[in-house]
A and B are shown apart, each in its own frame.
Chain A
Amino acid sequence: MAKSTIYAGLEIGTHKICVVVGEAKRDGAIKILGVGQAPSRGVRKGEIVDFEKVQTCVNDALVRAEDRSDVMIRNVFLGVTGAHIESLNNRGRHRLPDEQTEISEDDVEEAKEIARSVSIPQSNVFLHSVTRQYIVDGQEAVRQPIGREGRVLEADYHIIHGVRGRVQNAIRCVREIPLEVEDVVFNPVAAAQVVLTREAKMQGALMIDFGAGTCDYVLYEDGMITASGCVPLGGDHITNDVSMALQIPNGRAERLKVEEGSVLYDEVPDGEMLSIEDDTGLILGEIERAFLNEVMNLRTKEILIQVRVRVEDHLGRLGAGIYLTGGVSMMKGIDVVAREVFGIKVTRAGSAPVSGITATFENPQYSAPIGLIRYAQILDSEKPFLSPLKRLGRRMQELLSSVTL
Chain B
Amino acid sequence: MVEYDRSQSPEGASTAAPRICIVGIGGAGSNVVDRITLDRIVDATLVCAHTDVRVLGHSMAPVKIQLGAELMKGIGAGGDPDLGREAALFSREQIRQAIENHDIIFISAGLGGGTGSGAAPVIAEIAKNTGALVLVVATMPFSFEGRRRLAQAEEALELLQKRADALVLFENNRMGELILPKDGIQKAFNQADQLIAQSLRAISTITTTPGLVKLGLDDLTSALANANGRCLFGFGEARGQNRGTEALKKALKSPLIDSGRLLHQTKNLLVHVAGGESLTLVEVEGVMKQLGRHVPDQTHILFGLGVDAKLGDAIAVTLISSLGLNQLNAHATAAPPSEMLQPRAEAPAPAPAPKREIPVKKASSPYAPPADSPPDLLFKSDEFAPAPSIGEAFPLNNFHQEVEKVQLMEQPLAHVEEPPAFVESPAFAESPAFVEPPPPPVIAATPETVRIPVRTPAAKELADAARSSKESTLAAVVARSVTLQTEAAPAQDDLISFDEEPESTMISATTAVIARKPATDNQQTFSLGEEDRGRFKDTEPSIVQGEDLDVPTWMRLKKKLRR
Interface on A for B, CB 8 Å cutoff?
44-45, 49, 83, 86-90, 93-95, 114, 117-122, 124, 161, 227, 232-233, 236-237, 240-241, 243-245, 250, 265-266, 290, 294-295, 298-299, 301-302, 305-306, 313
Contact = CB atoms under 8 A, between A and B. Distances in A.
Nearest to B333: A121
Given A265-B470, A305-B485, A119 B554 contact: no
Interface string B526-563: 00000010111011101010000110111101000000
8 contacts: A86-B333, A233-B542, A243-B534, A244-B534, A244-B552, A294-B474, A298-B554, A305-B482
B336 A83 contact: no
Given A86-B334, A120-B334, 13 more contacts: A49-B539, A87-B336, A89-B336, A118-B261, A122-B177, A232-B542, A233-B549, A237-B550, A240-B535, A290-B470, A294-B470, A295-B552, A295-B554
Contacts of B482: 305
Contacts of B557: 298
Contacts of A88: 334-337
B411 interface: no
B337 A90 contact: yes
A interface: dominant SS = mixed
B553 A299 contact: yes
B553 A119 contact: no
Contact of B472 (A233, A236, A294): A294
B467 A44 contact: no
B535 A236 contact: yes
Contacts of B555: 244
Contacts of A95: 292-293
Contacts of A290: 470
A108 B335 CA distance: 26
Shortest beta-carbon contacts, A-B, top 7: A119-B261, A241-B552, A120-B334, A298-B553, A240-B534, A299-B553, A232-B542
A118 B549 contact: no
B336 A45 contact: no
Contacts of B544: 306
A339 to B, nearest CB: 14
A121 B552 contact: no
Contacts of A301: 478
B550 A298 contact: no
Interface of B: 177, 181, 258-259, 261-262, 292-293, 331-337, 340, 467, 469-470, 472, 474-475, 478, 482, 485, 532, 534-536, 538-540, 542, 544, 549-550, 552-555, 557
Nearest to B466: A266
Contacts, number: 105
B549 A306 contact: yes
A205 B259 CA distance: 36
Contacts of B539: 44-45, 49
A28 B510 CA distance: 58
B263 to A, nearest CB: 10
A262 to B, nearest CB: 15
Contacts of A233: 542, 549-550
Nearest to A120: B334
A233 B469 CA distance: 30
Contacts of B262: 119
B486 to A, nearest CB: 10
Contacts of B532: 244
A93 B294 CA distance: 9
A119 B337 CA distance: 11
Contacts of B340: 313
Contacts of B470: 265-266, 290, 294
Nearest to B555: A244
Nearest to B334: A120
B337 A114 contact: no
A235 to B, nearest CB: 12
Contacts of A161: 334
Contact of A245 (B332, B337, B467, B554): B554
Contacts of A120: 334
B422 to A, nearest CB: 32
Nearest to A313: B340
B333 A250 contact: no
A290 B469 CA distance: 13
A305 B547 CA distance: 14
A265 B542 CA distance: 27
Nearest to B544: A306
